[in-house]
């Protein structure tokens, strides 16, 4: 002990030097703190949005098109001109249509005259009445002749009986021969009268048949032109329909504005021949705008009617507020800048209150709110990392990194809802690299 006390003052510098060397080696070997960026776990509001580009569009857009084909006169209106409903905004040269109308009218008069000529070919009603009267007269003559034949037949029968009686009486010598001959002559005379009456009856019957045949011919001639009349009527109906159509087209050569508004675009300014249905101009009210935002179909299913829309980068400093009016039911295919086909859907919105000077077709960036809350525990998304199947964050505790497994809820591009694993006020490491591990010393940049 006395030895140590005696020599300690002389060895103290060496001991201290050795301890310093050991400390220096420890400091050299010991890892230096990793500089990190820190973010804080806070409580507040959070919005989850679907971000996309969009453009403004006039809500009620009317395309004025030419109703008929023809030569369009030069349109004097310019973009931005105000028009009233019913104002003539364009004209089609009416001369060709007027000429076609006159030609159709001439064809109609010609067909009507030809049909009248067909009617004159029919037998007159007087001829039909006369033919019917002839039939009645012939039938009366036939009936009279038949009566005469019956009378002569009766007279002949009587004359035959008288002859037979006279012959019998002469045989018995009761009468003279002259009386018998007189009876035979009377029978012969009655026979000749019957033959004449029968021939007259045959003539009467033939006359009735001839009269009926004549009436039948007249009636056939009465019906023969019917097919011609039907043909002319069909042609007249076709020309009348054509005339109605031409007259209607001729009346529409002056094209009127369907609504009051402003000229948005003039599609056919110079005079030229146009087909029916060719668009001439677009009309609308540029102060009545709607928003058209095309989003991926996978994002469109999250958007609900009435959701808020934040309109940014439209040319002003403020953020404009709008609401979703409806989501179009049909998607369309669009090729991205990388050449990938995407199914996209238009989301249509209305401004809530905007005094911004926006016009038709103006571009902007939109954030459609699909979820929001005013009081949630949230942390920066950039602090998230994977630890196996779970999600983790590194918390800064007393200068060291501590791994925490966390349960994350809804999130946006910058923040996420922390459901488990962190507490308000804790600091987390942003963008953790491979150098950050459990217990590693850190220092804030």
Q: What is the pLDDT of residue 4?
A: 47
Q: Are residues 70 and 54 in the same domain?
A: no
d(CA 133, CA 261): 80
Residue 237 lies in a domain: no
Q: What is the pLDDT of residue 322?
A: 93
User: Which residue, among 219, 212, 365, has the nearest Cα to 293 in the 3D structure?
Assistant: 365
Q: Which domain holds residue 349?
A: 31-59+285-445
Q: Are residues 260 and 383 in the same domain?
A: no
Question: What does pTM read for this prediction?
Answer: 0.59
d(CA 331, CA 318): 31
| Residue 87's CATH number | 2.40.50.100
Total of domains in the chain: 3
Residue 26 lies in a domain: no
∠124-130-132 over CA atoms, to 5°? 110
Tens-place pLDDT, residues 127-151: 667 777 878 888 888 888 888 888 8
| Residue 45's CATH number | 2.40.30.170
Domain boundary among the residues 283, 304, 331 is at 283
Q: Are residues 292 and 438 in the same domain?
A: yes
Q: Are residues 184 and 278 in the same domain?
A: no
Tens-place pLDDT, residues 3-35: 445 554 566 666 666 676 666 655 455 568 889
User: Which residue, among 237, 68, 216, 62, has the nearest Cα to 132 in the 3D structure?
Assistant: 216
Residue 49 lies in a domain: yes
Question: What is the pLDDT averaged over residues 371-391?
Answer: 91
Domain boundary among the residues 208, 224, 240 is at 224
Domain boundary among the residues 224, 241, 271 is at 224
Tens-place pLDDT, residues 78-132: 888 889 988 988 888 877 777 777 888 888 888 777 777 665 656 566 666 777 7
Question: What is the pLDDT averaged over residues 415-439?
Answer: 91
Q: Are residues 303 and 430 in the same domain?
A: yes
- Among positive and negative, which fits the CA dihedral 36, 46, 362, 65? positive
Q: Are residues 312 and 355 in the same domain?
A: yes
Q: Are residues 426 and 294 in the same domain?
A: yes
Q: Are residues 277 and 132 in the same domain?
A: no
Residue 2 lies in a domain: no
Q: Are residues 275 and 303 in the same domain?
A: no
Tens-place pLDDT, residues 21-70: 666 655 455 568 889 999 999 999 999 999 999 999 998 888 999 888 88
Q: What is the pLDDT of residue 127?
A: 67
- Among positive and negative, which fits the CA dihedral 219, 221, 227, 233? negative
């Amino acid at each position: 002990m006395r030895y140590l006390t005696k020599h300690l003052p002389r060895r103290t510098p060496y001991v201290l030097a050795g301890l310093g060397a050991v400390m220096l080696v420890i400091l050299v070997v010991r890892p230096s703190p990793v500089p990190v960026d820190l973010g804080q776990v806070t409580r507040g509001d959070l919005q989850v949005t679907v971000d996309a580009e969009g453009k403004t569009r006039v809500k009620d857009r009317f395309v004025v098109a030419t109703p008929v084909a023809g030569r369009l006169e030069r349109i004097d209106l310019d973009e931005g001109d105000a028009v009233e409903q019913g104002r003539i905004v364009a004209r089609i040269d009416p001369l060709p249509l007027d000429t076609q109308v006159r030609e159709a009218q001439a064809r109609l008069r010609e067909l009507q005259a030809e049909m009248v000529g067909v009617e004159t070919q029919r037998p007159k009603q007087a001829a039909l009445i006369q033919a019917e009267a002839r039939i009645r007269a012939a039938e009366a003559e036939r009936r009279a002749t038949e009566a005469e034949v019956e009378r002569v037949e009766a007279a002949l029968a009587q004359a035959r009986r008288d002859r037979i009686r006279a012959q019998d009486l002469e045989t018995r010598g009761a009468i003279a021969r002259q009386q018998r001959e007189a009876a035979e002559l009377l029978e012969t005379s009655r026979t000749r009268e019957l033959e004449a009456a029968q021939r007259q009856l045959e003539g009467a019957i033939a006359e009735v048949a001839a009269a009926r045949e004549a009436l039948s011919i007249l009636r056939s001639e009465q019906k023969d032109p019917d097919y011609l009349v039907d043909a002319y009527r069909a042609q007249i109906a076709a020309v009348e329909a054509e005339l109605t159509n031409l007259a209607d087209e001729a009346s529409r050569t002056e094209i009127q504005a369907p609504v009051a508004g402003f000229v948005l675009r003039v599609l056919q300014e110079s005079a030229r021949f146009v087909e029916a249905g060719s668009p001439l101009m677009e009309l609308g009210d540029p102060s009545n705008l709607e928003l058209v935002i095309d989003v991926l179909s996978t994002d469109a299913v999250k958007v609900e009617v009435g959701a808020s829309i934040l309109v940014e980068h439209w040319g002003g400093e403020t953020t404009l507020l709008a609401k979703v009016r409806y989501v179009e039911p049909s998607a369309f295919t669009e090729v991205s800048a990388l050449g990938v086909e995407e199914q996209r859907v238009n989301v249509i919105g209305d401004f809530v209150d905007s005094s911004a000077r926006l016009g038709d077709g103006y571009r902007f960036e939109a954030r459609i709110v699909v979820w929001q809350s005013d009081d949630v525990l949230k942390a920066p998304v950039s602090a998230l990392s994977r630890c196996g199947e779970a999600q983790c964050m590194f918390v800064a505790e007393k200068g060291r990194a501590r791994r925490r497994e966390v349960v994350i809820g809804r999130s946006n591009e910058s923040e996420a809802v922390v459901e488990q694993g962190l507490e308000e006020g804790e600091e987390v490491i942003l963008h953790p690299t491979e150098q950050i591990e459990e217990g590693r010393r850190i220092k804030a940049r």
